[in-house]
Structure 1
Amino acid sequence: MRFGFALTLALLWNGAAAQFPGHRHGQNHRPRFFWPGGDNGRTVTLADNAATTETQVPGVVVYVDEEGSATRTTTELFKVVPSAKLQPTPAGGPFGNRPPFFGPVFGPPIVPAPAPPLPPPSPPQPTKTISSQSPPSSPIPKINPGPTAGNGGTKDSNSTTNPVTGVTYSPYNADGTCRSASDVYADFQQLAAQQAPPYTVVRIYGVDCDQVAAVLPAARAIGVKMFLGIFNLDGLDEQVATLVRAVQASEGGWGLVDTISVGNELINNGQATPRQVVDAVAAARASLRSAGYQGPVVTVDTFLAVERFPVLCDASDYCAINVHPFFDGNTAAGQAGQFVLRKVADVREVLLDSGKKVVVTESGWPWQGNTNGLAVPGRQNQKLAVQSIVDVYGASNPDGLILFTAFDDGWKKAEAGTFYAEQFWGMYL
């Protein structure tokens, strides 16, 4: 082999930010490029033009800090494959014309340059405004709310144990336009009709489309709380102000809000540095407190991003992570719950406070798309995976799991890098 396996892995605390086009508010699920290829997260795939067969060999990884100084050395397993056998990725690669955000870098230690200002937001502007039509006059029968992801709570003595807390929801039509207030209300009716499980929290990601104002009446009608979100760091003050105005104008006010997140997978997607995210969480929390909100404020990222930068959870009122077994090629649908359980345990090991509350804010399985190793999309596999996640993880963490996602996201872009599955994670028609 023509490889020298003295490898330097630069942990890019101050690495350059990058904007990824074609998706709204960073909600898409790109493959997890941190140590791809293994359930233990420690198998690195490398391409060699001179290789003719696939080979696995041990190698040394040197971890360096932002100053370029070595912090620790480990031995990892490297899978060397002929370049021609690697699956093609979208133009420019899934991370644009730069190496994976936490991927291996050959050569001497890299000292990152200071992070540039964040790029302007990329979400397309909606072409339809929220309808002024009022919600139906007949309220939806309320479901008994159980404990919420952030605030805890007690259940009605006649209610059954909810094995899962919440579900994610995006108020966009397949063409990217905004769903009307009456459409949102109808969607929440459909969620209320779900008996397995009856949700107590619904998570959204942004403030565009007047979505905060649209979801709060619908949430109040069916007896759920909202996990609200700010999807990027540009115009943070304006986004917080938009959210505050919508909540204060709604009947129920802050009592309808379970949690507010600042950013979703910004580190995983290379859109901000940990320092920028931590500062944004602190700034948003201060503004929200002054507006009367006393609940949890968090940032959300993948479990792998948090393992490398636990400060994301240290700065949050609880640890909020997205865990998607589908993006691990060694996990079949029936083992999805065990995967989530293991990854939450891994995250706890790196936290300053190992007893800090951890909420899995996204976990699910696509029903259509390309196969990823042992991870196979399909309706049956989706049901199998979700049931496994609920039974294995949700049963022991009844206030710490939010499933992804309620309905398909036809507005998202189909890409090879996400196994052409990005649009097909919806659990309900």
Structure 2
Amino acid sequence: MASWAERAVFWHVYPLGFTGAPGAAGDGPVHHRLRHLEAWLGHAAELGCTALMLGPIFASETHGYDTVDHFAVDPRLGDDADFDSLVARAREHGLRIVLDGVFNHVGRSFAGDHRWLRKGPDGANDTFEGHDRLVTLDHGQEAVRRHVVSVMDHWLSRGASGWRLDAAYAVPPGFWAAVLPRVRARHPEAWFVGEVIHGDYADYVARSGLDSVTQYELWKAIWSSLNDRNLYELAHALGRHDDLLATFAPLTFAGNHDVTRLATRLDDPRHLGHALAVLFTVGGVPSVYYGDELGLRGLKEEREGGDDAVRPAFPASPAELDGSGREVFELHRRLIALRRRHPWLARARTRVTHLDNRTAALHTSAGGQALLTLLNLDDGPYRFPLPDDGPWAGDGDADPALVPAHEWRVLTTPPGAPLLLPGE
């Protein structure tokens, strides 16, 4: 994995929604909405993020995942000059940019060679998961491989640092295994993460040559275990997550553009900090979906337009925020700061040293360094048995092992290392 990605914390943005772009492309003039995003780079940097993960920015018919021209910025967002400006301004804030590449399928009005499209048994174009407007590329064709290499090279040469590969789970892993070495030959520091929802993550990474895949199993376990107050589910998922870290660092998240927001998903708002404490203290490459750092709510629905609530427009600048999300922002900022003080966490392993339904101690370590995350979902305080590889840092005279009802702690060792409390 690229060295910079080992230390990355992403701010994930869906640009078409964020900038208030219309839902369908038209024949009107170019609108320079990417400039809107520039006003928020300081916000991402203040949060502590080191990279932007952008949703689709290329010319498309509607939502961006129906690409029609991989070499053109969507006119609803701007043009090449707007992209170049965004890259330059992001660098000034210490932020890299990873782009969303939709290479499994394209829109019906795709500008490329239509001989690249996969045909079904009846001779008609195959579609992606029943979506009539999304036609599938034929990944067995060398021409398609050359096209994807060319697209990746083009935008990496313009300043991007990597690619999120949409619907990677639908693409034969051998396709990426043929494409990525050609791209890495010119861009050895580029990072590639695939969207993989189910299945054998480690096997897909091994056969595809990707650096990472999306860790949906851990995402589900985080909110589900908190809602059910069943931390055994989380412990099981962390065991499987630990196995993945032997070969790669998964992309971890508590929210993204395709799922109900964490603040809506959680039954008990007191457990938001628990979810974030897990996200930022276990191995992987963490990502924050725009608005989650402000405690925004949004319900994903399985209907036309059902993503709109989780892909909202943002105001012109952070100065227009009403301040209601500042407490959640500060919680994210403190945990991200902790993460960045401990970059070894990217490949760290977690073992559960104490567990029952409502309390758990997560011991995460690598290279002789360790953190201990204490989670209490119970209605009363709980004094945790601490692992004997301490002593564990406390806060003044406070008992670091005693966690109040519905609270959490992150302890560090050796003594003198900073302790993180929910209200710091």
Classify the TM-score, shorter chain.
Answer: 0.3 to 0.5
User: Higher helix fraction: Structure 1 or Structure 2?
Assistant: 2
TM-score under structure 2 normalisation? Answer: 0.44
TM-score (norm 1): 0.44
Give the number of the structure with larger relative contact order, counting CA–CA contacts within 8 Å between residues 6 or more apart. Answer: 1
